[in-house]
Amino acid sequence: MLNRPLSRRLAAASILTLSLGAVALAQEIKPLAPSAAPAVGAINSGDTAWMLGCTGLVLLMTPGLACFYGGLVRRKNVLGTMMQSMAAMALLSVMWVAIGYALSFGKDCHGLVGGLEALFLRGVGGTPHPLYASTTPQLAFMAYQGMFAVITPALIGGAVAERMKFSAYFWFIALWSLLVYYPLVHWVWADGGWLAKMGLLDFAGGMVVHVSCGVAALVACLVMGRRRDFPREQIIPHNLPLVLIGGGLLWFGWFGFNAGSAYKADGIAASALVATNTSAAMGALVWMIHDWFRFGKPTALGMVSGAVAGLGSITPASGFVTPVSALLIGGVASLACATFVNWRTRRGIDDSLDTFGVHGVGGTIGSLLAGVLAVRSINPAGRGLIDGNPHQLWVQSIGVATTFVYVGILTFVILKVMQGFGSLRLKSEEEAIGMDQTEHGEEGYSF
């Protein structure tokens, strides 16, 4: 255990850093200098280069997720787990081009879903889309949003790791994208979406990505049931260096995830990037210190888990809050996520890789705090409670509640219908052998 003087110093440091968030509420933040605004319809080469680079960064996050999840499972399941993320890149990229972009950002139909005019990207070319990204080609905007459509369903795989059949996973992410993700994108981000018209703040996907995948993950792990060895045996990550590599790639790619959501290389993008790194760093420190107190030693798993919690929680608020507010969001979310993960373990809930515990809880906290900490000095489009708009917190609460209900019900229905056509999970003896051999006829490691 830690000696008392060191424990007190660590506790004091943690409390002092978190308290900076309260100080920030009383500070007057200087507005960011507005960037030069090109005429609508004019391609800006700097903005285009920025968006193409951010698209690559967000794409990199899915292989990063494969490494992160692959290291967290047992050795016999590493290849099968990584295969899920890589297969999602292939399947969901094709679906996005074929129908996903049209349903998400097509011509609005009663605020609920996009029309089918843009099926197979018909009419989507090198000219700007004035409603979404007015200084870059619409193809660049489409490709960038497609990377979000890939990683969101892939995240759900962490909740059912080591026990879901590959065929079931393949069909599940396809149906979930079609029935859940694409409509939700339209509600929150598309012109005419009913939540967008309410003034919901979700800069880069707090509700669209993190709350949605977290809720779906919780429903999926409850519907499928526990792994055969859980909680009877201690199930630990087989390769923590691989987890750290994956976590590092996620952190790196998250700059494109959040800062790219400004759709321009401007001051808001810079602010979002700083907020992203600040929240991730604070999240990593808080979870590491939490484990230091709990286990007497700082753990690598705790540190990287805290970083992901900080990244997920800042996502909805990244383009609206100050750096000091980002410290507060990352610290609060990391501590809340760590507390929930400990609780669900004691309760015997087998969310294998804590998708809900990190993304669901973190995304919910960040989405609500966006309604408190958003300030017009950072982004004229966002004004929260501390900037004189208490109504924004109510709007954020409606968005979170709607996401929980819609995603939870639809995910449950999809899984139950699939169960009617066949088993979702491996047989007990197949679980014992491992996914690598039973599902793919290969091995992650050959000695």
Type of residue numbered 142: M
What phi and psi, each to the nearest 5 degrees, are found at residue 219? -65, -45
At residue 15 the predicted structure's pLDDT band, cuts being 50, 70 and 90, is very low
**Average per-residue pLDDT in the chain?**
92
pLDDT tens for residues 396-408? Answer: 999 999 999 999 9
Type of residue numbered 120: F
Instruction: Identify the CA nearest to 268 among candidates 5, 19, 26, 50.
Output: 50
The C-alpha atoms of residue 104 and residue 307 are separated, in whole angstroms, by 30
| 30: pLDDT strictly greater than 50 | no
How far out from the chain centre does Cα 219 lie? Answer: 17
Handedness of CA 77, 79, 83, 86 (dihedral sign): positive
At 17 the pLDDT is 44
Task: List CB contacts of 152: < 8 A, sequence separation 6 or more.
Answer: 177, 181, 205, 208, 209, 212, 213
Length of the chain (residues): 447
Rounded to an integer, the average pLDDT of 199-225 is: 97
Determine whether 42 is exposed, middle or buried from the number of CB atoms within 10 Å of its CB (0-12, 13-18, 19+): exposed
| 5: pLDDT strictly greater than 90 | no
Task: List CB contacts of 40: < 8 A, sequence separation 6 or more.
Answer: 128, 130, 134
Rg of the chain over all Cα atoms, to the nearest angstrom: 21
At residue 41 the predicted structure's pLDDT band, cuts being 50, 70 and 90, is low
| 216: pLDDT strictly greater than 50 | yes
Query: Residue 123: CA atoms inside 13 Å, Cβ hemisphere, count?
Result: 11
Which of 49-53, 64-68, 191-195, 442-446 comes out lowest in average pLDDT? 442-446
At 28 the pLDDT is 40
Q: Which residue has the higher pLDDT, 8 or 335?
A: 335
| Assigned architecture for domain 43-440 | Orthogonal Bundle (1.10)
Bridge partners of 164, per DSSP, are 425
- Apex 311 CA angle, 354 and 230, nearest 5: 10
Q: Which two tokens stand for residue 145?
A: 């949003």
At residue 283 the predicted structure's pLDDT band, cuts being 50, 70 and 90, is very high
Bridge partners of 137, per DSSP, are 128
| 11: pLDDT strictly greater than 60 | no
Task: List CB contacts of 65: < 8 A, sequence separation 6 or more.
Answer: 85, 151, 154, 155, 246, 250
Greatest Cα pair distance, the chain, in angstroms, is 66
Q: What is the pTM of this model?
A: 0.91
| 25: pLDDT strictly greater than 70 | no
pLDDT tens for residues 74-117? Answer: 999 999 999 999 999 999 999 999 999 999 999 999 999 999 99
Say whether the peptide bond before residue 231 is cis (omega within 30 degrees of 0).
Answer: yes
Instruction: Identify the CA nearest to 181 among candidates 204, 157, 205.
Output: 205
Instruction: Identify the CA nearest to 44 among candidates 135, 113, 128, 108.
Output: 135
Q: Which residue has the higher pLDDT, 377 or 345?
A: 377
The C-alpha atoms of residue 197 and residue 395 are separated, in whole angstroms, by 11
Q: Strand, coil or helix: what is 137?
A: strand
Task: Yes or no: say if 181 and 149 are a contact pair by the CB < 8 Å rule.
Answer: yes
The C-alpha atoms of residue 313 and residue 369 are separated, in whole angstroms, by 9
At 130 the pLDDT is 81
The C-alpha atoms of residue 188 and residue 195 are separated, in whole angstroms, by 5
At residue 55 the predicted structure's pLDDT band, cuts being 50, 70 and 90, is very high
At residue 3 the predicted structure's pLDDT band, cuts being 50, 70 and 90, is very low
Chain position carrying tokens 């989507």: 124
Type of residue numbered 165: K
At 34 the pLDDT is 43
Other Cβ atoms less than 10 A from the Cβ of 391: the count is 14
At 21 the pLDDT is 43
| 31: pLDDT strictly greater than 70 | no
Integer angstrom CA distances of residue 164 from 28, 81, 167, 356, 436:
51, 10, 8, 17, 12
Which sequence spans correspond to the domains of the chain? 43-440
At 232 the pLDDT is 84
At 158 the pLDDT is 96
Where are the alpha helices (H) located in 157-263, listed in sequence order? 166-176, 182-189, 194-198, 212-224, 240-259
The C-alpha atoms of residue 18 and residue 331 are separated, in whole angstroms, by 6
The dihedral region occupied by 311, where left means phi > 0, alpha psi between -120 and 50, and beta the remainder, is alpha
Chain position carrying tokens 């219908």: 417
At 38 the pLDDT is 42
What 8-state DSSP symbol labels residue 129? Answer: E
| 33: pLDDT strictly greater than 90 | no
Task: Yes or no: say if 54 and 136 are a contact pair by the CB < 8 Å rule.
Answer: no
Which of 131-135, 182-186, 236-240, 297-301 comes out lowest in average pLDDT? 131-135
